[in-house]
Amino acid sequence: MYLIVGLGNVGEKYAHTRHNAGFDVMEKLAGKLGVSLRKRLLLKGMTAKAADGDREIILCEPTTYMNHSGECVKQLLRRYGCPPERLMVIYDDIDLAPGSIRIRKNGGAGTHNGMRSIIGCIGTQDFPRIRIGTGDRPAGADLVEWVLGRCEGEERERMEQAFDHAAESALVWVHSGINTAMNTGNRK
């Protein structure tokens, strides 16, 4: 069993904002795997169970809002009996150029509150992750307004390509491991 969690905030107000890059990737993955995410109150998230070849995969979008994502992830790990190395978290990163992705085997939360919550709740930072670059805000712009804003035009096209690439990289991880996913997936 593999768990793939995309981070974001619930509700139409936040749909397709930079901060919801993880949710956008989950939608791509659900489409590729032919499943639909459904609300699961006990797990505090929208989930879907899928099979890809001989691999079972749980997709999840936490419904706890970004800063409490760890509550959902902790429940998922407990419910499915998965070790953290079978967890992949996908989230936005303002320190990467728009449309770029970075895959890592483990690491800290950086400035991302959703990742801080997950690491705090599950007690380890030793789990794979895919960061989706959104770029930093323009000089003088408010950070919250920037990450909760929507991409348009060429920037949106780059982001859509990154979502597809991240979804494919997550499936490479499921079938071939994190090292192969990093070797084939990391791009600028």
Q: How many residues does the chain have?
A: 188
- In the residue annotation, 112 being an active-site residue is answered as no
- The catalytic position among 16, 19, 68, 175 is 19
Short-list 7, 5, 33, 11, CA closest to 134: 7
**Tokens read off for 148:** 């909760």
State the angle between helix axes of 69-80 and 113-122 in degrees (0 to 180), rounded to the nearest 10: 40
Q: Which two tokens stand for residue 11?
A: 């509700």
Tell me if 19 sits within 8 A of 114, measured CB to CB.
no
Q: Which residues are catalytic?
A: 19
